[in-house]
Structure formats: structure tokens, C-alpha cells
Amino acid sequence: MTKVNLVSIKKRLLGIYNRKRPPKEGEILPVVIKATDVLSEEDPNIRPHDSIGFPGGLIYLKKHIPTIIVPDLHARMDFFLNIVFHKDKDEITTIQKLSNDELQIVCVGDGFHAESRAATRWLKAYQEYTEEYKNHSYMDDEMRESLGLMEMVMEMKINFPSNFHFLKGNHENIANERGEGNYPFRKFAMEGEMVTAYIRNFYSEDFMLQYYIFEKHLPLLAVGKNFLISHSEPQRLFTKEEIIHYRKNHEVIEGLTWTDNNQAEENSVTQMLEYYLGKEGIENYYYFGGHRPVVDLYNQRASGRYVQIHNPSKFIIAYIQPEKKIFLREDIVELENKTEEIVRNKHL
């Protein structure tokens, strides 16, 4: 694994976090292009390629190192910094472990669109949108966070390609398109259309196209030693061939990113666990996802096998260790918010 300059990466991530405006196109476009190149050239042993030579939608995780599972991020740059620079009891940071091939991270997707913490801002930004962004300070704040978060994600993928993975969520839809497994999004206002209009107003068509291509290269399912991960609950059993060839099977994209609670076919989670991990020992296997919010640390569905870990108000992660069984009450934890300390300390 190629060594990288961790202090330099921290400087870049902190620069993104401290930036008081959305990124300029000249700042972020090269990062988008580089991250897309990395995604399009992933190791076929980790991400099997489809029939036309592109990496497919399936990620085979390393089985000998721990995995951090990160729920929906939704523009929470502070959450991301607290994951990357979290220190264990020996004062070793997550990013140091990534660099030493001692850890891997899987994010379940949904980088864009701040949630309830920004509900009022969305309503004010909507007024800006209706006036064609003649004024746009509230939407600038949203795009600073959403594009900034994804710029951080891309930097991590570029520097740790085999140990950092970001799965596609239903919010990875920069064009707010309907089709190819995507649907337009709205919640507090018309977030999907507002973002698309903002990009078209303040960035070039080339930027929109390059970011759109980046999203199309994101994987959908991660397979670990005793667990699976996708953005949403699987709508049904999807085979390896279907997921690897997701670009020509849009049902796979929709079925792993949009499935609501009580919408999946009966036993879809069990079938996926048996298919990818085997029937023996299935009582110790879990399928992790986000998509729908939970009240506390996690929520179990599908006879306890499907575990949702997305709490918009907390910094929740799952930490899965390869040498032991998964114990949800021990392995799903809330990180302390140490953003101020991380920002102050320029060193690792």
C-alpha cells in the first residue's frame, strides 16, 4: 500500500472545513476527475469488473482488518472529520490505521442535503431559488457543506483507494433525474431541484457532467467477512452478476438505495446474507444500512438481521472486528464531537 503524507491530507481536509464559501470550480473539479479515475480503475480483486471492463457495483472488503461503517453523512463535515481523526486508546488515529492497512472504511452514501438541523435554512434557500438565486447566501451555506463533504470523501478515496469506499445512496443524484434507478428528491423544500439549479447557475456544464459521471461510478454493495452493507435495505435478492452489471440493470440501483421500511420483499435480507456469506453461521451475520433515520444508536429489522445506524443528530459508527462475533450493543458507538480540538491541532 503506497504511503501518503497524512499531515498534508489533514491540511487539505481542514482547509475544506474552514472554507467560508462553496468550492470554486477550479478547486473541486480536478478532485472530481481524479476520484472518478480512481473509481474507474479499481482493483478487480476488490471490485470485480463488468463485461465492458468497468468496475462493477460489488465491493469485496478485506477480511483481516477491522471495518468502520459510516451512516448517511448529509453534509456533516464535522462528523466526517471526527471519524477520520478519531484516536483510539493508544492515541492512534483512524487515518494512520488506513495508511498502515490496519483498517477500512465504508460509507453508506448520501453525501448531499443537510437534514433536520438545516430545515429552516432550506426554507430560506427555497425563497432564493424562486428568485433565480439573485441572492443566494443560504444556498451558499448548504453547498459549502454538501460539496465540501463530498470533496473530503473524494480526497480520502484518492489517497486510500483500496481501504476507503463510498457507496451510492439515493441522494447521489446531482442532476435530480428520474430514471437509471434515481428519483427526484424533496423533503423540507425542493432540495434536489434547488441543488441542480445552483450547480447550473454557478458551475459549468463540464463540472455538472464530470460530477454526474463520478456518481455513476459509485458501488452499491460491500461484502465483509460476516456482514453486508448497502445504502438501503435490499428490495429483493440481487445476485453477484446483477450487482456487478448494475449499469445496465437499474432495478439494482433503485433496490439498494431507495427501499423504504416495510417495502422490501419478505426474507430479502436473509436471502442476501445466505447468498453472499453462506447459510452456516447466519445467526451471526448482519446486514448494515442507513437511509431511514433511527432514534437512538440503531434499529433492527428483518428478524433482527438488518441494522439501520443513521441518526441525523448523533455521530454514530459501527466498528466491526474480524476476529470476533458482532455484538451490536458493543460495536455500534457514538463518537464524541471533538471538532474544535481537531481543527486546533494541525498535527495528527
Task: Tell whether the model's pLDDT for residue 62 goes beyond 90.
Answer: yes
pLDDT value of residue 201: 98
Q: Which residues contact 158 (CB under 8 A, 6 or more apart)?
A: 31, 34, 35, 38
pLDDT value of residue 347: 67
Going from the N-terminus, what domains does the chain have, and what CATH number goes with each?
6-12+23-117+143-183+202-344 (3.60.21.10)
Let me know: does 204 contact 227? Beta carbons within 8 Å.
no
Alpha-helical runs (H) found in the chain: 6-18, 25-40, 77-84, 94-99, 119-130, 137-159, 191-202, 205-216, 240-244, 250-257, 268-277, 328-331, 339-344
Task: Tell whether the model's pLDDT for residue 346 goes beyond 90.
Answer: no
Let me know: does 117 contact 312? Beta carbons within 8 Å.
yes
Strands 227-229 and 67-70 turn out to be unpaired
Q: How confident is the model at residue 332 (pLDDT cuts 50, 70, 90)?
A: very high
Residue 332 CA to residue 69 CA, distance in Å, equals 9
Residue 268 CA to residue 237 CA, distance in Å, equals 5
Q: How confident is the model at residue 189 (pLDDT cuts 50, 70, 90)?
A: confident
Residue 227 CA to residue 237 CA, distance in Å, equals 15
Task: Tell whether the model's pLDDT for residue 202 goes beyond 90.
Answer: yes
Residue 140 CA to residue 217 CA, distance in Å, equals 27
Let me know: does 214 contact 147? Beta carbons within 8 Å.
no
Q: Which amino acid is at 170?
A: N
- Residue 286, sorted as left (phi over 0), alpha (psi -120 to 50) or beta, turns out to be beta
How many whole angstroms from its chain centre is CA 124? 27
pLDDT value of residue 247: 96
Residue 32 CA to residue 198 CA, distance in Å, equals 18
CA of 129: how far to CAs of 112, 137, 186, in Å? 17, 11, 14
pLDDT value of residue 2: 64
Q: Which residues contact 218 (CB under 8 A, 6 or more apart)?
A: 39, 109, 166, 167, 168, 172
Q: How confident is the model at residue 3 (pLDDT cuts 50, 70, 90)?
A: confident
Task: Tell whether the model's pLDDT for residue 116 goes beyond 90.
Answer: no
- 205 or 3: which leads in pLDDT: 205
Mean pLDDT of the residues in the chain: 96
pTM (predicted TM-score) = 0.96
Residue 182 CA to residue 257 CA, distance in Å, equals 9
Specify the length of the chain in residues: 348
Q: Hey, what's the cell of 193? A: 431541484
